[in-house]
Amino acid sequence: MKIYFAASIRGGRADMNLYRKVIRYLGTFGDVLTEHVGDSSLAVEDGLTDQQIHARDMDWLLSCDRMVAEVTTPSLGVGYEIGRAIERGKPVLCLFRLQEGKKLSAMIAGSPDLTLCNYSKLAEAKAVIYAFFNEHSVK
């Protein structure tokens, strides 16, 4: 199982420790292609050009079996990746941590083509991730 994990990089790294925990848990279900998203030293994205990052990430996205996106911190790139994954018929799970003052984009919240999990604690998100990888009828 190849898993593409998406979360904010340039849009904000405040949740990086959370990303690392989610990535570690996702690793129990398969190979997480984008482990670098949880890397605290990720700042300049390994000196790659924007075009190289796009090509690399699209290769990973198109080769994955499922996508999981943490969407609490808004990110144009993550929204783009979600749209491309849906376009290709990939099962997509979006995780949104409920916080005062944070609202999820209607384009994600209203999409019938993905699974959305609103959560407060990591344990809640893990339960939904477990179901996403173990149920036969994933969207």
Q: Is residue 94 part of a domain?
A: yes
Residue 16 — φ and ψ, nearest 5°? -55, -40
Residue 99 has pLDDT above 50, yes or no: yes
Residue 124 has pLDDT above 70, yes or no: yes
Into how many domains does the chain fold?
1
Question: Which domain CATH number covers 90?
Answer: 3.40.50.450
Q: What is the pLDDT of residues 47-90, one digit of tens each?
A: 788 899 899 999 999 999 999 999 999 899 999 999 999 999 99
Contact criterion met (CB below 8 Å) for 66 and 89: no
- pLDDT band at 128, cuts 50/70/90? very high
Q: Which residue has the tokens 């019938």?
A: 112
pLDDT at 138: 43
Q: What is the pLDDT of residues 10-37, one digit of tens each?
A: 777 678 889 899 999 999 999 999 887 7
pLDDT at 45: 59
What is the domain extent for residue 90? 2-134
